[in-house]
Amino acid sequence: MRPVTTNGATARTASAMPGAGVSAADRNAPALDTHAVCPVLRAEGVTKIYRRGVWPRRRELQVLRGANLELCAGEVVGLVGENGSGKSTLMKILVGALDADGGSISAVDRVGYCPQEPLLYDRLTCDEHLELFGVAYEMDPDAVAAASEALYASLGFARWRAVRVEELSGGTRAKLNLALALLSDPDVLLLDEPYAGFDWDTYLRFWELTAERRAAGRSVLVVSHFVTDNERFDRLVELRDGKTVSR
Ligand SMILES: Nc1ncnc2c1ncn2[C@@H]1O[C@H](COP(=O)(O)OP(=O)(O)OP(=O)(O)O)[C@@H](O)[C@H]1O
Ligand SMILES: [Mg+2]
């Protein structure tokens, strides 16, 4: 594994594509060895301060104070913590969508990301989103078509494929958000409260998909608030006072 320093000066914003999988190389970060079993993602000593306003009303909020996290191949890890503890901030930093102030991030080449708020294009249909993201992932059109069919079937939203996002329900938007993160079958998947708004069947299907990924040696980090989910994770990492604590 090659350590990578990411800080406000060197880390680049991940991708203009909302929810797009991001390669570590896009972030000036050498990729970890994809064949290495552990870790496939590593964050060390990550710090983040949000700064708002201008002097004399300048305010600073230190959200992360040296967060560490490691994800191994075939692991499904829960990222927990109270509202505002910095879970989404850490995920954005891990995927390169937000600059850290300090610390280092290393990752295998392909990291998929499902943001907490679906970032979709109102005027595009589900099909158009999948096609667009397939191009962004540099996938073969046949592979995009096959993966899209499988995702429509497993998440149960094929009937909405030709409908524009602006006309979709919140739950269907969440399904599309997740489908876009899964499309390229990334080695590492970062999911920020992915099933908010899912109906029960889709929620159960989500966990089946996650178990399939674990069995295939993929890694998944999931932000969750549900204590009932805890038994589904291989382990839990809690963000508390800006630091990560194993639970
Ligand atoms: N762009 C921003 N500018 C300033 N403060 C921010 C910004 N984004 C988040 N924050 C603040 O940083 C803290 C952590 O936010 P974050 O969204 O990472 O928390 P979270 O653990 O994901 O919370 P939740 O469980 O509610 O999703 C919060 O106090 C939030 O208000
Ligand atoms: Mg959040």
Name which residue sits closest to atom 16 of ligand 1, judged by CA.
Answer: 86
Confidence band, pLDDT 50/70/90 cuts, at residue 222: very high
Query: In one letter, which amino acid is 175?
Result: K
Our answer on whether the CB atom of 87 is closer than 6 Å to any ligand 1 atom is: yes
Mean pLDDT for the chain? 85
Coil, helix or strand at residue 14: coil
Which residues place a Cβ less than 5 A from the ion ligand 2?
87-88, 116
CA angle at 177 for the pair 128 and 38, rounded to the nearest 5°: 120
Our answer on whether the CB atom of 224 is closer than 6 Å to any ligand 1 atom is: no
Q: Domain residues of the chain, as ranges? A: 1-247
Our answer on whether the CB atom of 92 is closer than 6 Å to any ligand 1 atom is: no
Ligand at minimal distance from the CA of 115 is 2
Which CATH number is associated with domain 1-247? 3.40.50.300
pLDDT of residue 118: 87
* Tens of pLDDT, residues 56-93: 888 899 999 999 999 999 999 999 999 999 999 999 99
Average pLDDT over residues 148-170: 96
Our answer on whether the CB atom of 89 is closer than 6 Å to any ligand 1 atom is: yes
Residue 50 has pLDDT above 50, yes or no: yes
pLDDT of residue 119: 87
Going from the Cα of 203 to the center of ligand 2, the distance in angstroms, rounded, reads 19
Q: First vs last Cα of the chain: how many Å apart?
A: 26
Q: Are 191 and 175 in contact (CB under 8 A)?
A: no
Mutate which of 46, 58, 83, 89 for ligand 1? The one with the most ligand atoms within 8 Å of its CB, which is: 89
Atom of ligand 1 nearest to the CA of 85: 21
Four-point Cα dihedral 209, 215, 217, 220, nearest 10: 40
- Helix axis angle for 141-155 and 126-136, nearest 10°, is 130
Bond prior to 56 in cis (omega within 30° of 0): yes
Going from the Cα of 239 to the center of ligand 2, the distance in angstroms, rounded, reads 11
